[in-house]
């Protein structure tokens, strides 16, 4: 299988898989099982980002990574907003296992201030938004630097979203492609 499971034990990250909880924009769990997977090539870039963050005294918290195509339809049917969600007919980088939603965490386990919560579908979430505090701007720039240095591309509308370049060359995957489903 081309997907690698990401766990705190194997990667030294913390997981807060939002779509397995009610703490997401739908208000209810989308995944029945909280799990985190990435394509093996994305895993290489994630490991680089983890190392770079660690050198600076930070760690990474992941909100979402591989998202089964079935889940993309659930999200799209709830909020069909192409500024923040990929139309499932063309496919999301998440449904290809080559995108990750994340933040930085300090040595005390606190999320760095980023100006909005994860999945805040508002222009305030855009990279370069100047209405957020200077601290949040600095933290977003730090995350952007770590992730791009590790080989990730960014999505300008979401400070938390990173994906591999040329993400469309990877095939769309569904829940049945996992050894144990999430849906």
CATH assignment, 3-177: 3.30.1380.10
The owner of tokens 């979402």 is 64
Listed in sequence order, the residues at least 6 apart from 12 whose beta carbon sits closer than 8 Å to its beta carbon are: 50, 54, 59
Nearest CA to 106 out of 135, 126, 129, 133 is that of 135
**pLDDT value at 1 more than 90:** no
pLDDT of res. 47:
98
The pLDDT tens digits for 151-165 are: 999 999 999 999 999
The single residue of 5, 41, 135, 158 carrying the catalytic annotation is: 158
pLDDT of res. 104:
98
pLDDT of res. 10:
98
Domain boundaries, the chain: 3-177
Q: Give the mean pLDDT of 156-180.
A: 96
The pLDDT tens digits for 38-78 are: 999 999 999 999 999 999 999 999 999 999 999 999 999 99
The pLDDT tens digits for 69-120 are: 999 999 999 999 998 999 999 999 999 999 999 999 999 999 999 999 999 9
Please indicate whether residue 158 is annotated as part of the active site.
yes
pTM: 0.97
């Amino acid at each position: 299988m081309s997907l690698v499971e990401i766990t705190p034990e194997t990667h030294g990250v913390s997981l807060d898989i939002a779509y397995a909880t009610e703490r997401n924009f739908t208000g209810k769990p989308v995944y029945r099982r909280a799990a985190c997977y990435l394509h093996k090539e994305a895993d290489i870039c994630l490991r680089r980002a983890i190392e770079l963050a660690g050198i600076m005294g930070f760690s990474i918290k992941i909100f979402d990574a591989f998202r089964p195509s079935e889940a993309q339809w659930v999200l799209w049917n709830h909020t069909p907003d192409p500024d923040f969600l990929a139309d499932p007919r063309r496919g999301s980088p998440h449904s290809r296992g080559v995108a990750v939603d994340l933040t930085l965490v300090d040595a005390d386990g606190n999320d760095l201030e980023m100006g909005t919560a994860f999945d805040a579908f508002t222009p305030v979430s855009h990279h370069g938004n100047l209405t957020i505090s200077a601290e949040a701007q600095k933290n977003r720039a730090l995350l952007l630097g770590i992730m791009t240095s590790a080989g990730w591309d960014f999505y300008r509308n979401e400070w938390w979203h990173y994906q591999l370049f040329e993400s469309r060359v990877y095939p769309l995957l569904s829940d049945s492609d996992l050894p144990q489903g999430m849906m």
